[in-house]
Amino acid sequence: MLEEIDLTSPRGRLAVRLRDVIERRWTAEVQAIGVYGSLAHGDDRDGSDVNLQVVTYRQAAGPKPALRRVDGILVDLQVTTADEGMRHARDLTPRWPLIADRLVCTRALHDPRGWFDARRDAHLARLAETRPPEITALARHDWEVAAAAHDRAVRLAEWYETDAALVMIAEARLHAALVAGLLSRTYFRNKADAVKRTGLAGADVQELASVLKSQAEELTARGRPVDGSLADLFG
State the SS3 of 96-158: HHHHHHHHHHCEEEECCCCHHHHHHHHHHHHHHHCCHHHHHHHHHHHHHHHHHHHHHHHHHHH
- Its CATH class, for the domain covering 2-129, is alpha beta
Higher pLDDT, 213 or 227: 213
144, burial (CB in 10 Å: exposed 0-12, middle 13-18, buried 19+): middle
- Cβ(40)–Cβ(105) under 8 Å? yes
Q: Give domain limits for the chain.
A: 2-129, 132-222
pLDDT in tens, 163-201: 999 999 999 999 999 999 999 999 999 999 999 999 999
Residue 3 scores a pLDDT above 50? no
pLDDT at 193: 97
pLDDT at 190: 96
Name the pTM for this structure.
0.93
Residue 235 scores a pLDDT above 90? no
pLDDT in tens, 55-90: 999 999 999 999 999 999 999 999 999 999 999 999
pLDDT at 6: 81
Residue 60 DSSP code = T
